[in-house]
Structures are given as C-alpha cells and as structure tokens.
Structure 1
Amino acid sequence: MTRLLPVLTVVGAILLLWYAATVWLNAPWARDQAARAEATLTLPALVADTMTQDRPVLPAPHQVGAELWKTVAATKVTSKRSLVWHGWVTLSATAVGFLLGSGAGILLAIGIVHSRAMDLSVMPWAVASQTIPILAIAPMVIVVLASVGVTGLLPKAVIAGWLSFFPVVVGMVKGLRAPDAMQIDQMRTWTATPGQMFWKLRLPASVPWLFASLKVSVAAALVGTIVGELPAGATAGLGARLLSGSYYGQTVQIWAALVAAAVLAAALVGLVGLIERRALRRMGMAR
C-alpha cells in the first residue's frame, strides 16, 4: 500500500487538474449556447454541461473512460470499431520496426566501437538523422515505398525503425565502452582475442545500457508507427483512429486513442523491463 499511495496521489492530482481544465475549456461553448437560448446558466448547470458535451474541446475523464469501455470491452475485437483491433495493427508494425531499428542500432554500435573510421563517419550521420522531423520523413517514405509496390505494414515499420535505432546506437556504444582500461589490460594479459574480449567483457558490460536504451527505443517505435499511419490515410491502427476523429471533430475518440496508445507504450516498456530483470538476474547483475 505504501508503494501505491504516491502513484494514486499523482493520478488523483492529474484527474483533478483534468476536470478543472475540462470546465475551463468547455465553458465558452456552454455560455454561448445559453446566450443564444436567452437562458440563465448557473454554476452547477455550467459544470454539468461542460462534462456532457458531445464534441467538447477537452473531454472529461469519464467520457474518455466510457469511450474506452465501448470500444474495448463492449465491441468484438475483430470489429474495425474496436480499439483492440486497431491497437493490434499498430502493435504489429511497432514490433517489426522495433526489431529492425534495434538490430540496426546494435550492429552500428559494434562497428562504431571497433572501427575508428565508422566512429568518425557513421556516428555524425546517425545524430544528423534524428534532427530531421519525422513528420517530414514519413510521407516521403510512404510515397517512395508505395511507388515500388511496398504497402501495408512495412512502410510503417521502416518509420518506426528510423526513430528507434538511435537510442540503441547511443546506449550500446556507451555500454560497449563501459569497461575501464584496467579490465581491458587484464584481458590482454590473458592473451584474449578481440572476439573473446567482445563476448566476455564488452558485451556483458553493455547489457544494462542496452536495456535502458531499448525502453526508450520501443516507445519511440510506437510513436513512429502512429506517425506513419497519419500521412498514409490509413483505415486501421491507432493513428487512423486519431485521423478519423480529427476529420469529424470527435475529440472523445481522439483522446480514447491517445490513452490506448499510452497504455500500449507502458505495456511495451514494462515488457522490456521484465526481460531486463530476468536477463540481469541470470547474469548475476541483479537480485
């Protein structure tokens, strides 16, 4: 209970601020409607109206909760109205992009650590690649791949991989360089080969750094997938739900999709954390 109390306190404060913002942002519409009807709007009536508008500027938490219940629990998962179905579409591309980006990041990090030429040439390009807004890259990737007949999951996965590889490169490079000079000299006195030094020293030392970067990477991959769904005019995925909600002014739908994306990101980060604890425990680095 002592561990849950701080979390519940923060959640309660967020909900309180959310409700207060709901009243503040939705009040102008309620006052305008009352003025048109030449009616007097009391404070309790004003608050009640801001909590029940069909297309509010900011939906109340209970409205988002009701939308989530309707699209998650009260709808078949095979239905295109189900957030579970849309979440699975986004999750599939996220997983592929995460694997592509993480694999590329690990390989690049190994090359950067073992080759000064790659360190001086590849690393600056890796940094520069992240300075270009993903919203500018995503449409180009979608159009170029579609022109060669590649559509569906892969273009979104490429965009997800683009965002996810950089944290892995940085974290893995830092981890592979974590062993100090004394440890490296000791391995050399044992006439260790470069391969043995990598597998026995550098790679084990990099594991905590790798998992820390993977947590950032998997969240970035999810963001990349959702961004990739927007310019494609997709009809499936959480990005498609955000897009259709913006087209028709369904702010409750937009917020429900955002909450679903946040829950999915938390679940993915939690999964990586679980794998991290088990891996470090097997390596004797954690209890």
Structure 2
Amino acid sequence: MTTTSFRASPIRAVMARLRDGAALPVLTILLLILVIWYAGAVKLNAPLMLDQYERAERSSWSWSELVADTMAMERPILPAPHQVLRELDRTVLQTAITSRRSLVYHTWVTLESALLGFALGTLLGIGLAIMIVHVASLQRALMPWIIASQTVPILAIAPMIVVVLGSLGLVGLLPKAIISAYLCFFPVTISMVKGLTSPEPIQLDLMRTYSASTTQTLRYLRLPASLPFLFTGLKVAISLAVVGAIVGELPTGAQAGLGARLLAGSYYGQTVQIWSALIMASILAGCCVGLIGGIQRGLNRRFGGAA
C-alpha cells in the first residue's frame, strides 16, 4: 500500500464519521444560513449605500465596492455576520464581565430570571400534572384553561403582570421570573400528564395486586415512567424561560439584561447591538437545553437506560 493510501484512509474515515453523524448536516445548514444572511445584508443595505453615494455626488462605483460598503456600514438595516462577530468579541471577550457594557453581565442577569422562572414553572407543571392524573374532575376542569392560557400573547400580558406585581411591591427579579414561569409551565404539564399516564394497564394491575397505595404507584411506577417525557418538556420549557425573561425585561425598562440591550439598541438604531444580543440569547438557550440533555443522559447511565 502506498503512502498516499495511508494518508487518504484517515481522511476518508473522518469524512465518513461526518457524513454518518450530526456534524455534517449541522455545518451544511450553518453554511446555508451564512450565505443567505450575507445575501440579505447586501440586498437590504444597498439602497442606503446608493443613497449615500448620491448625496456624496459619487457617480463612479463598482459592484465589489458596493458589496464591501454594505457590509461595513455603521448602522446597517441588516448587519453582516462578521459585524455581529466583531461586536460579540468586543462585548464578550474584550470587556470585563462586571461591566455593564459586557454581554456576559447582561446574559447573567437574564439567566437569573430564566432559571427562577424555570424552577417555578417546572414545579407548577409537575404539580398540576399529578393532580390532573389522579383527580378526573380536575382534568376536565383544568386542561381547557391550561391550553387556553397559551393562546394569549405574552407581549400582551407581560405589562399587566409587571404593573399588578409592582402595585403589590414586587419588583425586580420576581416579575420577570413569573413571566418565564407562565411560558414554561405548559410544556412541563403536558409532557408530565403524558408520562404519568404512559404505564400499561397490566403494570397498574400488577401494582394493585401488590396492594400498592396511590403514592407508592406514583413513586415506583408513574414517576420513573414519566422521566423521558418530562425531560422532553423541560428542554422546551428552559428555552421558553429564556424568552420569557427577555420579554419580561421589555416593559419594566430594565437597565440590565439581554432585553435591556435590545431596547437600547432599538432606541439608538444600533442594529449590530440588537443582533449580537439576539445571538447571545440563542447561545444561552442552546446551552441551557444542552445542560438539560446532559442531565438526562447522566440519569440514563445512572439507572441503566440508553445514554
């Protein structure tokens, strides 16, 4: 076998792993998004740039100059990806995390509200699910209202929640956490109801033959069976909690948090700042979902399930 074959084999092995795994599809979609993003930046920013050319009485320009200028505007309609990356580098890596100019500082403020809201929403969702499963009348009474609660736009009720809680002297972290809890309790409730009712009738009959009480059946059968469903709901809930925390910062006029960065960027037309906050919010939500997935895999390995 030649030296070239030895060199090609590891390359083919790597390419095969990329093709068979999740990395290649993810990278392909990411590349497609970047291409569309750059094309959109040129398309949307070009009229502004042409207007600047006209005001400057610049009659000669090339398409390459126009494309380069649309991606270097100070206040573009749609910033290019590299502009957002520069802003993230400046506000994340080159700024102290204790500074109010740091996106890490604002992300931590939002994360505090999101985690508290996630905890409240999870407890509420699990409690409602247990009651619904064990009391048939509650299922008929509560489920329509639980579903109807999610048809009301959060942007419509967030200011009302802030005003009502503010009149009661509850300001700061709690109103934002309650808005997050309002968003994230629903997927937890629905997934837990599905999980708690997932045991087969023969399994329930077996627990009855052992004279197991309702509490014992819940502890030893229903709750273990509900864990896969619960973690699915938790992954959705934690991302909604981040959204709720950001939305909760908007009507309060918060001075810190990703929502505050979005407001400041919109007030002063700093679209690069807006997009960097949005990207940071998506990274935060992705990390939270990944953390929930890691906990799920750890529990699966601990109890002998599939990792």
Normalising by structure 1, we get a TM-score of 0.98
Unmatched segments (≥5 aa) in structure 2: 1-13
Whole-Å Cα distance in 2 between the matches of residues 195 and 31 of structure 1? 72
| Aligned pair partner of 2:159 in 129, 136, 139 | 139
Whole-Å Cα distance in 2 between the matches of residues 214 and 5 of structure 1? 27
1:82 lines up with 2:84 in the alignment? no
Q: Secondary structure at the match of 2:99?
A: coil
| Aligned pair partner of 1:38 in 49, 57, 64 | 57
1:93 lines up with 2:113 in the alignment? yes
Shift of 1:5: 2.4
User: Once the two structures are superposed, what CA deviation does each residue of 1:156-208 show, in whole Å capped at 9, x if it has no partner?
Assistant: 00000000000000000000000111111122122221111111111100000
Shift of 1:284: 2.1
| Aligned pair partner of 2:261 in 223, 241, 254 | 241
Partner of 1:5: 24
Q: Secondary structure at the match of 1:173?
A: helix
Whole-Å Cα distance in 2 between the matches of residues 69 and 192 of structure 1? 59
Shift of 1:41: 2.5
Whole-Å Cα distance in 2 between the matches of residues 87 and 11 of structure 1? 23
- Amino acid corresponding to residue 14 of structure 1 in structure 2: I
| Aligned pair partner of 2:289 in 250, 269, 273 | 269
Deviation larger for 160-169 or 32-41? 32-41
User: Once the two structures are superposed, what CA deviation does each residue of 1:234-282 show, in whole Å capped at 9, x if it has no partner?
Assistant: 1100000000000000000000000000000000000000001111222
Partner of 1:24: 43
1:226 lines up with 2:266 in the alignment? no
Partner of 1:256: 276
| Aligned pair partner of 1:59 in 67, 76, 79 | 79
Unmatched segments (≥5 aa) in structure 1: none
Shift of 1:54: 0.5
- Amino acid corresponding to residue 84 of structure 2 in structure 1: V
Partner of 2:11: none
User: Once the two structures are superposed, what CA deviation does each residue of 1:118-175 show, in whole Å capped at 9, x if it has no partner?
Assistant: 1111111111111111001100111111112111100000000000000000000000
Shift of 1:283: 2.2
Whole-Å Cα distance in 1 between the matches of residues 277 and 177 of structure 2? 20
Shift of 1:8: 1.8
Normalising by structure 2, we get a TM-score of 0.92
1:125 lines up with 2:145 in the alignment? yes
Deviation larger for 257-266 or 138-147? 138-147
| Aligned pair partner of 1:116 in 136, 142, 145 | 136
1:68 lines up with 2:88 in the alignment? yes
Whole-Å Cα distance in 2 between the matches of residues 168 and 44 of structure 1? 52
1:48 lines up with 2:48 in the alignment? no
Shift of 1:15: 0.8
- Amino acid corresponding to residue 102 of structure 1 in structure 2: T
Deviation larger for 216-225 or 38-47? 38-47
1:26–1:58: 8 Å Cα contact kept in structure 2? yes
RMSD: 0.9
1:151 lines up with 2:171 in the alignment? yes
Instruction: State the number of aligned residues.
Output: 287
Deviation larger for 159-168 or 26-35? 26-35
Q: Quick one: percent identity of the two aligned structures?
A: 57
Shift of 1:6: 2.3
| Aligned pair partner of 2:224 in 204, 207, 212 | 204
Partner of 2:201: 181
Shift of 1:37: 2.2
Partner of 1:163: 183
Whole-Å Cα distance in 2 between the matches of residues 220 and 34 of structure 1? 44
1:31–1:41: 8 Å Cα contact kept in structure 2? no
